[in-house]
Amino acid sequence: MEVDGTVIGEIGPGMAAFVGFQTGDAAELDSRLAAKLLALRIFPDSEGKMNHSVVECGGNVLLIPNFTLAADTSGGNRPSFTGAMAPAEARPRFEALAARFRPKLDNVQSGRFGADMKIDVLNDGPVSLILRL
Protein backbone atom coordinates (compact mmCIF):
# COMPACT_ATOMS: atom_id res chain seq x y z
CA MET A 1 0.00 0.00 0.00
CA GLU A 2 1.42 3.37 -1.05
CA VAL A 3 0.70 6.99 -0.25
CA ASP A 4 2.47 9.66 -2.32
CA GLY A 5 4.83 7.04 -3.78
CA THR A 6 5.95 5.74 -0.36
CA VAL A 7 5.11 2.25 0.89
CA ILE A 8 3.26 2.67 4.19
CA GLY A 9 2.07 -0.90 4.72
CA GLU A 10 2.85 -4.33 3.39
CA ILE A 11 2.05 -7.84 4.55
CA GLY A 12 2.72 -11.39 3.50
CA PRO A 13 0.10 -14.15 3.63
CA GLY A 14 -2.94 -13.17 5.64
CA MET A 15 -5.99 -11.01 5.29
CA ALA A 16 -6.74 -7.63 3.78
CA ALA A 17 -9.80 -5.97 5.29
CA PHE A 18 -11.43 -2.87 3.85
CA VAL A 19 -13.10 -1.11 6.78
CA GLY A 20 -15.83 1.50 6.54
CA PHE A 21 -17.94 3.09 9.25
CA GLN A 22 -21.43 4.40 8.69
CA THR A 23 -23.30 7.06 10.61
CA GLY A 24 -24.99 5.38 13.55
CA ASP A 25 -22.64 2.40 13.77
CA ALA A 26 -22.41 1.54 17.45
CA ALA A 27 -18.92 1.54 18.96
CA GLU A 28 -19.71 -1.84 20.55
CA LEU A 29 -19.54 -3.39 17.08
CA ASP A 30 -15.82 -2.64 16.81
CA SER A 31 -14.79 -5.28 19.34
CA ARG A 32 -17.13 -7.80 17.69
CA LEU A 33 -15.64 -7.00 14.29
CA ALA A 34 -12.08 -7.47 15.50
CA ALA A 35 -12.99 -10.72 17.26
CA LYS A 36 -14.77 -12.03 14.17
CA LEU A 37 -11.89 -11.20 11.83
CA LEU A 38 -9.38 -12.81 14.17
CA ALA A 39 -11.49 -15.97 14.55
CA LEU A 40 -12.78 -16.52 11.00
CA ARG A 41 -11.75 -19.98 9.83
CA ILE A 42 -10.82 -19.08 6.26
CA PHE A 43 -7.30 -20.51 5.97
CA PRO A 44 -6.62 -24.11 4.91
CA ASP A 45 -5.59 -26.96 7.14
CA SER A 46 -3.36 -29.82 5.97
CA GLU A 47 -6.28 -31.26 3.98
CA GLY A 48 -7.07 -27.97 2.25
CA LYS A 49 -10.26 -27.32 4.23
CA MET A 50 -10.92 -23.86 5.66
CA ASN A 51 -10.32 -24.65 9.32
CA HIS A 52 -7.73 -22.14 10.54
CA SER A 53 -7.97 -18.52 11.58
CA VAL A 54 -5.40 -15.86 10.74
CA VAL A 55 -4.12 -16.21 14.32
CA GLU A 56 -3.78 -20.01 14.11
CA CYS A 57 -1.84 -19.86 10.84
CA GLY A 58 0.40 -16.98 11.94
CA GLY A 59 -0.93 -14.73 9.22
CA ASN A 60 -0.80 -10.98 8.79
CA VAL A 61 -3.54 -8.36 8.62
CA LEU A 62 -3.76 -5.27 6.43
CA LEU A 63 -6.55 -2.91 7.53
CA ILE A 64 -7.62 -0.39 4.92
CA PRO A 65 -9.86 2.54 5.86
CA ASN A 66 -12.45 2.97 3.13
CA PHE A 67 -15.39 5.35 3.55
CA THR A 68 -16.66 4.47 0.06
CA LEU A 69 -18.00 1.20 1.45
CA ALA A 70 -20.90 3.32 2.74
CA ALA A 71 -21.85 4.36 -0.80
CA ASP A 72 -25.53 4.56 -1.65
CA THR A 73 -26.03 3.81 -5.33
CA SER A 74 -29.82 3.57 -5.30
CA GLY A 75 -30.49 7.13 -6.46
CA GLY A 76 -28.82 7.26 -9.84
CA ASN A 77 -25.38 6.91 -11.34
CA ARG A 78 -23.37 9.03 -8.91
CA PRO A 79 -22.74 7.36 -5.55
CA SER A 80 -23.75 9.27 -2.44
CA PHE A 81 -21.49 9.07 0.60
CA THR A 82 -23.76 10.91 3.02
CA GLY A 83 -24.14 7.70 5.04
CA ALA A 84 -20.42 7.51 5.77
CA MET A 85 -19.39 8.40 9.30
CA ALA A 86 -17.76 11.83 9.61
CA PRO A 87 -13.94 11.62 9.52
CA ALA A 88 -13.57 13.18 12.99
CA GLU A 89 -15.55 10.26 14.44
CA ALA A 90 -14.41 7.48 12.07
CA ARG A 91 -10.64 8.09 12.35
CA PRO A 92 -10.34 7.27 16.08
CA ARG A 93 -12.65 4.29 15.62
CA PHE A 94 -10.42 2.93 12.84
CA GLU A 95 -7.25 3.49 14.87
CA ALA A 96 -8.79 1.78 17.92
CA LEU A 97 -9.88 -1.13 15.73
CA ALA A 98 -6.35 -1.57 14.40
CA ALA A 99 -4.99 -1.54 17.97
CA ARG A 100 -7.21 -4.54 18.82
CA PHE A 101 -5.28 -6.73 16.36
CA ARG A 102 -1.74 -5.93 17.45
CA PRO A 103 -1.62 -8.04 20.65
CA LYS A 104 -2.74 -11.12 18.67
CA LEU A 105 -0.61 -10.95 15.52
CA ASP A 106 3.01 -10.19 14.68
CA ASN A 107 2.33 -8.10 11.57
CA VAL A 108 -0.64 -5.75 11.52
CA GLN A 109 -0.46 -2.89 9.05
CA SER A 110 -3.02 -0.19 8.43
CA GLY A 111 -3.65 2.38 5.78
CA ARG A 112 -3.58 6.11 6.31
CA PHE A 113 -7.01 7.45 7.08
CA GLY A 114 -8.15 10.02 4.50
CA ALA A 115 -5.17 9.48 2.19
CA ASP A 116 -5.23 8.65 -1.50
CA MET A 117 -3.84 5.13 -1.17
CA LYS A 118 -2.63 2.85 -3.94
CA ILE A 119 -3.41 -0.70 -2.86
CA ASP A 120 -2.32 -3.94 -4.49
CA VAL A 121 -4.17 -6.98 -3.19
CA LEU A 122 -3.44 -10.51 -4.35
CA ASN A 123 -6.50 -12.59 -3.58
CA ASP A 124 -4.88 -16.03 -3.31
CA GLY A 125 -7.89 -18.23 -3.01
CA PRO A 126 -11.63 -18.30 -3.26
CA VAL A 127 -12.51 -16.21 -0.20
CA SER A 128 -13.87 -12.66 -0.24
CA LEU A 129 -16.41 -11.86 2.44
CA ILE A 130 -18.66 -9.01 3.48
CA LEU A 131 -19.08 -9.09 7.26
CA ARG A 132 -22.41 -8.08 8.70
CA LEU A 133 -22.56 -7.99 12.48
16 φ/ψ angles, rounded to the nearest 5 degrees: -105, 130
In a domain, 55, yes or no: yes
Number of domains comprising the chain: 1
In a domain, 65, yes or no: yes
**So what's the pLDDT on residue 16?**
96
In a domain, 131, yes or no: no
Calculate the CA 47 to chain-centre distance: 27
Which residue range(s) make up the domain with 77?
2-118
Average pLDDT for 47-70: 95
**So what's the pLDDT on residue 12?**
92
Predicted TM-score of the model (pTM): 0.91
Average pLDDT for 94-113: 95
In a domain, 90, yes or no: yes
**So what's the pLDDT on residue 1?**
93
